[in-house]
A and B are shown apart, each in its own frame.
Chain A
Amino acid sequence: QVQLQESGPGLVKPSETLSLTCTVSGGSISSYYWSWIRQPAGKGLEWIGRIYTSGSTNYNPSLKSRVTMSVDTSKNQFSLKLSSVTAADTAVYYCARDLGGYSYGAECWGQGTLVTVSS
Chain B
Amino acid sequence: NFMLTQPHSVSESPGKTVTISCTRSSGSIASNYVQWYQQRPGSSPTTVIYEDNQRPSGVPDRFSGSIDSSSNSASLTISGLKTEDEADYYCQSYDSSTDVVFGGGTKLTVL
Chain A residues in contact with chain B, CB under 8 A? 35, 44-47, 50, 58-61, 94, 99, 102-112
Q: Quick check: B44 and A104 within 8 Å, CB to CB?
A: no
* Complex CA distance for A102 and B94, rounded to whole angstroms: 9
Given that A44-B90, A94-B44, A99-B50 are known contacts, is A107 also in contact with B56, CB under 8 Å in the complex? yes
* Complex CA distance for A111 and B50, rounded to whole angstroms: 20
Q: Quick check: A102 and B45 within 8 Å, CB to CB?
A: no
**Nearest chain B CB to A33 CB, angstrom units:** 11
Given that A105-B33, A106-B37, A107-B50 are known contacts, is A45 also in contact with B45, CB under 8 Å in the complex? yes
Nearest A residue (CB) for B43? A111
**Residues of B contacting A112 with CB < 8 Å?**
44
Q: Quick check: A106 and B47 within 8 Å, CB to CB?
A: yes
B46 at interface by CB-CB < 8 Å = yes
Identify the stretch in B19-27, B70-78, B79-87, B95-103 within 8 Å (CB) of chain A at 4 or more residues: B95-103
Given that A94-B45, A112-B44 are known contacts, is A47 also in contact with B99, CB under 8 Å in the complex? yes
B51 at interface by CB-CB < 8 Å = yes
* Complex CA distance for A35 and B22, rounded to whole angstroms: 22
